[in-house]
Amino acid sequence: MDIRRLSGGRLGSESGRVVGVLLGLAVLGLAMLVWVQGRVGALDEDVRSNAAPAEDLVGEMQYMLARQTSALRGYLASGDTTYLRQYDSLHALERAAYPVLEVYAAALAPEASADVAEFLTLSREWHRRLLLEEIAAVGSAGARLDAPVVLLEQEIYRRALDAASGATLSIREMTRDRHMHIQRIERDARLILVFLFFLSGGIAVFISIMNGRIRALALETEERRMEVQSAMDRTERAVAARQHLIRGFTHDVKNPLNVADGYADLLRLGLRGELPAEQAVVIGKIRTAIRGAVEIIDTLLEINRVESGGLKLELQSVDLAKLAEDVLEEHAWIAAAAGLELIFRDPGRAIIVLTDPDRVRQVLKNLLANAVKYTPSPGKVKVQLDFARESGHPGWVKILVTDTGPGIASEEQERVFYEFYRVPGASVPGQGLGLTISQRIAHLLGGEITLRSVPGQGATFELWLPMHRAAAARVRW
Ligand code: ADP
């Protein structure tokens, strides 16, 4: 995996994300501007197309009312009918303006609309109550401006004018409201834009800091990778050197040892003359020592073969119950000689597993040999099979070898699997290689050896095996 490319890709995608976020904010700002334009335009249009012409028209009608009333007064004062005609033509103009003002009023704010409606009602009322005939009579009889009919006309006229002023004020109020609304929207929009601007800046700064961190992290990861790589290279070189050394061992050490053993045997057989009994004993000890050394070399060679992949498995369907029983039988006499009771918990049925029987047998023999070797008499060694289903490993089976020996302290339980490691003070001779090779073979079989022990209460070694390939793939040790 190329971490530089990985981190580069990540940085690329980060900057893509930044651009995306900033673009999103820009689109948001733009959308808001468009909305503000629309809203402000609508409010402005409302003022220009309805409020302003309505206010003008109310003013004009107010002016027309004034002219009409002065025409009537002119008539009352002079009896000149020209004034009445003047009133008529002004009234006709006023009537023509009613529907126009009504259309504008419908589009105004409710209060302004109501005030305009009241003004129109009072205007109409003024004309209806004018009782023009009586005015005409009053006018022809001579000017009398305090006649009741004139006073009545004046009263309604005054109210109509008040209503007109009220309508003008409400329309102005509405116009002012609209303008304030527009100002509010524009101010809010400015605030939001400033906020979006700072937000974009903040995001850009934050992302660039994050990018810096990711870059630093990527560099650190790359350094670690290189460290791991060089450690792996060193290990590979060490393994290769070790394999080379061990191959050399075979040739340079094992062969001469075998030759030495051969000569020692010749002496033992008396082919170079009869040996005194004491010398025969010494020769026997020399041969035991030579065979011990050859055995160590053989185990090392085997470990080497497992490590280098030279040991090929031969998988077949095996009845594990039968296999375990056979191994147990082979050890029966050794256990008996050691004064131990050997127990086999027969599962009572075949347990078929796809594995290499020779390798399983080899591991089981090692575990059993250790149990017998380290358990003092009188004691017990028990072998049993168990499905690992209960422990959350369906498709696995384990062979348990339990003894009543001294057990292994918890701090030693990992180390006993190390090469040449022996628990300090071990009472029985050994090489410290049996568990190492057993664990390597268990791994090769896709399984594991685990250990449970309480010092003074014996030990249980468990050989876990997958029953088929799929089960092996599911578990990581
Ligand atoms: P060896 O038995 O040749 O010393 P092993 O690798 O088989 O080498 O075992 C490593 C060590 O683990 C032994 O030296 C012993 O101290 C300890 N050990 C192994 N099996 C048992 C056991 N069943 N009970 C107690 N100790 C054990």
338-392 confidence digits (pLDDT tens): 999 999 998 888 999 999 999 999 999 999 999 999 999 999 999 999 876 656 6
Among protein residues, the one whose CA lies closest to atom 3 of ligand 1: 430
**Does residue 432 contact residue 461 with C-beta atoms inside 8 Å?**
no
Q: Is 435 in the pocket of ligand 1 (CB under 6 A)?
A: yes
464 or 81, higher pLDDT: 464
Taking residues 102-111, report their average pLDDT: 89
* pLDDT given for residue 1 in this prediction: 41
Given a cut of 90, whether residue 405 has pLDDT beyond it is yes
Q: Which atom of ligand 1 is nearest to the CA of 423?
A: 16
Give the CA distances from residue 16 to residues 29, 196, 208, 215, in Å, rounded to whole numbers and listed in that order.
20, 19, 12, 15
Output the CA 245–ligand 1 centroid distance in Å.
Answer: 26
DSSP class of residue 253 equals I
Distance separating alpha carbons of residues 93 and 82, to the nearest angstrom: 17
Output the CA 425–ligand 1 centroid distance in Å.
Answer: 11
392 or 237, higher pLDDT: 237
Give the CA distances from residue 13 to residues 6, 8, 17, 127, in Å, rounded to whole numbers and listed in that order.
11, 9, 6, 80
Q: What percent of the chain has pLDDT over 70?
A: 89
Would you call the peptide bond into 406 cis, given omega within 30 degrees of 0 as the criterion? no
Q: Which of 23-27, 110-114, 138-142 has the lowest mean pLDDT?
A: 138-142
Given a cut of 70, whether residue 462 has pLDDT beyond it is yes
Taking residues 111-130, report their average pLDDT: 88
* pLDDT given for residue 226 in this prediction: 95
Q: Is 409 in the pocket of ligand 1 (CB under 6 A)?
A: no
3 state SS of 95: helix
Q: Is 458 in the pocket of ligand 1 (CB under 6 A)?
A: no
Distance separating alpha carbons of residues 420 and 418, to the nearest angstrom: 6
**Which pLDDT band, with edges at 50, 70 and 90, does 53 fall under?**
very high
Pocket test for ligand 1, best of 300, 340, 370 (most atoms within 8 A of CB): 370
314-342 confidence digits (pLDDT tens): 999 999 999 999 999 999 999 999 999 99
Element (H, E) at 473: helix 469-474
Q: Is 372 in the pocket of ligand 1 (CB under 6 A)?
A: no
Output the CA 422–ligand 1 centroid distance in Å.
Answer: 6
Backbone dihedral region for residue 453 (phi beyond 0: left; psi -120 to 50: alpha; all else: beta): beta
With 0-12 / 13-18 / 19 or more C-beta atoms within 10 angstroms meaning exposed / middle / buried, residue 321 is: buried
3 state SS of 273: coil
Give all strands (DSSP E) within 295-407, no chain letters: 316-319, 340-345, 352-355, 379-387, 396-403
**Does residue 22 contact residue 203 with C-beta atoms inside 8 Å?**
yes
**Which pLDDT band, with edges at 50, 70 and 90, does 2 fall under?**
very low
Output the CA 319–ligand 1 centroid distance in Å.
Answer: 28
Given a cut of 50, whether residue 431 has pLDDT beyond it is yes
**Which pLDDT band, with edges at 50, 70 and 90, does 141 fall under?**
low
**Which pLDDT band, with edges at 50, 70 and 90, does 140 fall under?**
low
* pLDDT given for residue 244 in this prediction: 79
Give the CA distances from residue 357 to residues 349, 362, 368, in Å, rounded to whole numbers and listed in that order.
18, 8, 16
**Which of 426-444 are b and which e, b meaning 16 or more Cβ less than 10 Å from the residue's Cβ?**
eeeeeebbbbbbbbbbbeb
**Does residue 65 contact residue 164 with C-beta atoms inside 8 Å?**
yes
List 386's β-bridge partners, or say none.
Answer: 398
Among protein residues, the one whose CA lies closest to atom 12 of ligand 1: 416
Q: Is 433 in the pocket of ligand 1 (CB under 6 A)?
A: yes
Q: Is 408 in the pocket of ligand 1 (CB under 6 A)?
A: yes
Distance separating alpha carbons of residues 427 and 175, to the nearest angstrom: 108
Output the CA 353–ligand 1 centroid distance in Å.
Answer: 28
DSSP class of residue 50 equals I
Pocket test for ligand 1, best of 367, 401, 416 (most atoms within 8 A of CB): 416
Closest CA to 404 of 437, 382, 433, 387: 382
CA 71 to chain CA centroid, nearest Å? 88
* pLDDT given for residue 6 in this prediction: 46
Among protein residues, the one whose CA lies closest to atom 13 of ligand 1: 422
Q: Is 423 in the pocket of ligand 1 (CB under 6 A)?
A: yes
Given a cut of 80, whether residue 278 has pLDDT beyond it is yes
Output the CA 354–ligand 1 centroid distance in Å.
Answer: 29
Among protein residues, the one whose CA lies closest to atom 8 of ligand 1: 432
Distance separating alpha carbons of residues 94 and 168, to the nearest angstrom: 17
Q: Is 459 in the pocket of ligand 1 (CB under 6 A)?
A: yes
Q: Which atom of ligand 1 is nearest to the CA of 403?
A: 23
* pLDDT given for residue 150 in this prediction: 61
**Which pLDDT band, with edges at 50, 70 and 90, does 131 fall under?**
low
Both tokens of 236, joined, read: 């590979």
Closest CA to 386 of 320, 468, 315, 459: 320
Output the CA 416–ligand 1 centroid distance in Å.
Answer: 6
Q: Which atom of ligand 1 is nearest to the CA of 436?
A: 6
Taking residues 29-51, report their average pLDDT: 90
Q: Which atom of ligand 1 is nearest to the CA of 433?
A: 6
Query: What value does the CA radius of gyration of the chain take, rounded to a whole number of Å?
Result: 56
- How large is the greatest C-alpha to C-alpha distance in the chain, in angstroms? 187
Given a cut of 80, whether residue 282 has pLDDT beyond it is yes
Distance separating alpha carbons of residues 246 and 306, to the nearest angstrom: 13
* pLDDT given for residue 256 in this prediction: 85
Element (H, E) at 19: helix 3-46
Distance separating alpha carbons of residues 138 and 123, to the nearest angstrom: 22
